[in-house]
Amino acid sequence: MFPKLDPLLHSELRLAVMSVLAGVDSADFSFIKKQTGATAGNLSVQIDKLTTAGYITVEKGFKGKMPCTTCKITPQGRDAFQAYVDALKEYLSAGLD
């Protein structure tokens, strides 16, 4: 009845990060930080986890002279996000009407 929720996505900050990335081609660390309101440390950790899971890719480069970490959702990440949304619907159905 209640499908298991992907623990990687069932996390406030990671879910917010995925939500941001689902809507853009790519986004850099500072942008995601601003959109989510997360602390840098927390964001850094969660981005690592999403990367390890293959849900996003990270490219480190420079914007001018400043370091810049750019993130992008992967097809696998997009699938996982969609699956998570679908699974959640089972839990929320009472409130989605």
Partner DNA sequence: ATAATTTGGTTTATAATATAAACTTGTTTA
Partner DNA sequence: TAAACAAGTTTATATTATAAACCAAATTAT
Identify the H or E element spanning 26.
none
| Closest CB to DNA among residues 77, 97 | 77
Tell me how far apart the alpha carbons of residues 17 and 64 are, in angstroms, rounded to a whole number: 25
Q: Which does 66 bind (CB under 5 to 8 A by kind): DNA, a second copy, none?
A: DNA
Residue for token digits 């927390």? 42
On whether the CB atoms of residues 33 and 71 are closer than 8 A, the answer is no
Residues 16-75 touching a second copy, rule: CB under 8 A, are: 16, 19, 22-23, 35-37
Q: Point out which residues bind a second copy (CB under 8 A).
A: 1-2, 4-5, 10, 12, 15-16, 19, 22-23, 35-37, 81-82, 84-86, 88, 90-96
